[in-house]
Each structure stands twice: as structure tokens, then as C-alpha cells.
Amino acid sequence: MLIVAAILAIFVYGMIAAMLGTVLPDFSKRFSLTPKQNGNIAMSQAIGLMIGSFFIGPLVDTQGVRVGLLLGLGLISLALFGLRTAQSGAVIAGMMMLLGTGGGCIVTAANTLPPHIKMEALTTAGVYNLLNLFFGLGGLVTPLIAASLFKNNSNKLLLFAGSLCLVTFVDHAATEMPPAAGKVGFQVSSVTELLSQGSLLAIALVLFVYVAAEVGVWNWLTRHLIAQGVDEKKALTILSLGFALGLLLGRVAISPMLGNIKPEQALIGASVLMAITTFLIAQSTKPSVAWGLVFLAGVAMAPVFPTALAIVGTKFPDKAATAIGIAVTAGWFGLVVSSPIIGGIAGDDPKRLKKALLVLPACSVIMLLAALAL
């Protein structure tokens, strides 16, 4: 039951991560949104992610993981149903901030569960990667069903995702969860102590630039391809059967390998491949070439997030949720910074996204330096 709960939570978050990039073309047409406005909406989601990730960690450590999961799922459900009635860019931004807050709660709380799950022949880092492949599955399903099943109807997609969140909420309410890790109430000094740890700061920097790159693909790839003349349905399919599938298969492949290589080595290799593939993606205009490059980028990015969180959970077991919350919050701050930059470089011309997306390989190079330092 705990494995099912972890899978559902991570799958839901995968859908949330792909949601903005999937509904943005429809919202942009309906409300005449410019790339700059798209960037501000993405920034609103990122601010929500930071709020949820940072504040839910101490709550999970002192009150238990169930509280964090149920709170996150409740906020996500409200946001998804609220987006169906949105009538302006400002309302969309507000709902995306709420969605981000719920998502931050989910990703922090759910990633405290893998150490409590034992799987034969897998290390803790392997379990993190195996469970987080369902993040890739959620990301694959979202744009795929949006294009194929719902014919790019955002309201139908939002209703489907909101209903799945409610089902997950019921499952988590009925599942026995691990007890709170903290033996005493939360103290500010514990956060200060964690922030003085060099290894945690290095991982935070890795996630800072990694999330900027990954979510940059989720949020901007479809618009970039459409601007290059690719059909919208084909662009969404490239996002799902390219990037999301790469994330999914990459985590399946890396899970058993982490028994033979150090997690830090996996981060170094991933950052090199990310730098190469994201640079080439920004240059791609042909759908077949774009699909191959996006798939390889997904494979390259696959181990980074769960492996980094596995390192945090192993190094700080008594304050795992708080430490993970700090690291993940740094990741969402990367999104806060990168989305306005990408939208600002593109301005009012979607074709300038080709230049703006060079932010992604730049982030990958910084990640390489941070991983080497770690």
C-alpha cells in the first residue's frame, strides 16, 4: 500500500509538472498571451513550488508524511478545478501559484517515502529513481492525452487531472504512513544548522540549475516547436513521447546501475549529456530530429532529481523532509529565475525562443561544476 501511495503521489506530480506546458498553447490563443506573460505565469507556479517545498518539510518531520501529502493534493485539486473557470492571465497566474504550492508539498513529502520502501537488489538511490520514473510517466500521459484523447481541450484535461487527484487523496487518507521523524517540535535553529552544511548547499545548487533546465523544456518546448512551423499536435506528441518517455526509460535504466556507481558520478555524467542535448534542441526545426534530441535530453536528465534527493536523505536521515525541502526549494528558485529570462529574451516574438532556450545548456554547464564540487 505504501508503494502504491508513493507511485500515485509521484505520478500526480509528473502530471502537474507537464500541465503548464500542455495547456499554455490553448490559454495563449484564448487570452492572447505573449511569451513574456507566459514567463510570468510560469514564475507564479515556481513561487508556489518554493512556498510549498520549504514550509512543508518541517511539518512532515514533526507531524508525519500523511499531513504533507493530503495538504498538497487538496491544493492541487482546488487549482486544477479553478483553472477551468479562469478568464484572464491574472487568474491563471493565481491558480498556477496555488498549483505550485500543492506540487511543492507533494514532491517534498513523497520523496521522504523511498527510505521506508525496501526493494531487493536496489540501493536507496535506486529506489528513488525507480519510483520517480512515475514522474516521467505522468509527464508522458499529460500532453499525450491532451492531444489524442481530449483534442487539446484544456478544460477536459483539467477535469481529468483534478479527478485523479481526488482519487489519490482518498487513497492516501486510507494508507498507513511512516510516523513523524522529528522527536521534538520544529526549531528554526535546525534549518540554520542544515544551511551550514556544504554538501547540502552543493546539492541545492545542482537542483537550482537542473530544475531551470528540465522545467524549461516542459514549459517552452511546445511553443518553440510551433514557432518553428511544427503542428501543435505533433509538438505535444514530441514533448510526451520524446522528453517524458526519455525521463521514464532513463530512470528504469539507471536504477540498477546505481549499485555499481556512486550517485555523485551519475550527476556528473548527466550534466555533460544535458549540456550537449539541450544545446542541440534549441537548434532543431525538423520534428524527427527534435524528437530524437528531446528523448536523449530526457534520458540525460532522468537520474538527476531523484539521485540528488537520495543523497540528501542518506546524509540527513533525522531531518530528511526539512533537508529535502531546502534542496527542492533551491530547485524551484531556479525556475523563478529562468522562466522570466527565457520569456524576456523571447519578448513578443515566439521565434526568438530559439535563442532564449540557450539558457538551458548554460544551466547544464553550471550543474556540472556544482556536481564536481559535490
pLDDT in tens, 139-159: 778 877 887 788 778 889 999
CATH number for 297:
1.20.1250.20
At 328 the pLDDT is 84
For the ranges 13-22, 38-47, 90-99, the maximum mean pLDDT occurs at 90-99
Report the C-alpha gap between 61 and 194 in whole angstroms. Answer: 14
Residue 315 located in a structural domain: yes
DSSP conformation letters of 83-132: HTT--SHHHHHHHHHHHHHHHHHHHHHHTTSGGG---TT--HHHHHHHHH
Residue 180 located in a structural domain: no
For the ranges 21-25, 165-169, 216-220, 319-323, the maximum mean pLDDT occurs at 165-169
Report residue 2 CA to chain centroid gap: 22
Scanning 228-262, the segments in alpha helix (DSSP H) are 232-238, 245-257
Instruction: Write down the mean pLDDT value for the chain.
Output: 85
What domain range is 305 assigned to?
A: 2-172+193-373
Residue 178 located in a structural domain: no
Report the C-alpha gap between 165 and 170 in whole angstroms. Answer: 9
Per-residue pLDDT at 354 exceeds 80: yes
At 348 the pLDDT is 76
Which of the residue ranges 3-17, 86-100, 196-210, 318-332 would you say has the lowest mean pLDDT? 318-332
At 243 the pLDDT is 86
Per-residue pLDDT at 184 exceeds 50: no
All 3 cell numbers of residue 81?
Answer: 478545478
Report the C-alpha gap between 201 and 93 in whole angstroms. Answer: 30
Indicate the pTM of the whole model. 0.72
Cell 533546465 appears where?
213
CB 100 within 8 A of CB 120: no
Report the C-alpha gap between 163 and 343 in whole angstroms. Answer: 32
At 71 the pLDDT is 95
Mean pLDDT of 6-20: 88
Condensed to tens digits (0 to 9), the pLDDT of residues 32-77 reads 888 778 878 888 888 898 899 888 888 888 888 899 999 999 999 9
Residue 188 binned pLDDT confidence (cut-offs 50, 70, 90): low
Residue 188 located in a structural domain: no
**Which residues, including other chains, have CB under 8 Å from residue 20's CB and lie 6 or more apart?**
41, 42, 45, 96, 218, 219
Which SS3 state, helix, strand or coil, does residue 159 take? helix
- Helix 198-227 vs helix 263-283: angle between axes, to the nearest 10 degrees? 20
Q: Which of 288, 273, 275 is nearest to 241 (CA)?
A: 288
CB 341 within 8 A of CB 36: no
Residue 187 located in a structural domain: no
Q: Which of 299, 176, 323 is nearest to 249 (CA)?
A: 299
DSSP conformation letters of 161-203: HHHHHHHHHHHHHHS--PPPS-SS---HHHHHHHHT-HHHHHH
Q: How many domains does the chain have?
A: 1
Amino acid at 22: T
Condensed to tens digits (0 to 9), the pLDDT of residues 324-338 reads 888 888 888 887 787
Number of Cβ within a 10 Å radius of residue 288: 9
Which comes out higher in pLDDT, residue 190 or 161?
161
At 299 the pLDDT is 93
Q: Which of 67, 96, 287 is nearest to 182 (CA)?
A: 67
At 181 the pLDDT is 65
**Which residues, including other chains, have CB under 8 Å from residue 25's CB and lie 6 or more apart?**
152, 222, 223, 226, 232, 236
Report the C-alpha gap between 131 and 238 in whole angstroms. Answer: 23
Residue 272 binned pLDDT confidence (cut-offs 50, 70, 90): very high
At 101 the pLDDT is 94
At 228 the pLDDT is 83
- Render the burial of 103-120: b for 16+ CB within 10 Å, e for the rest: bbbbbbbbbbbbbebeee
The angle formed by the CA atoms of residues 314, 317 and 321, to the nearest 5 degrees, is 105
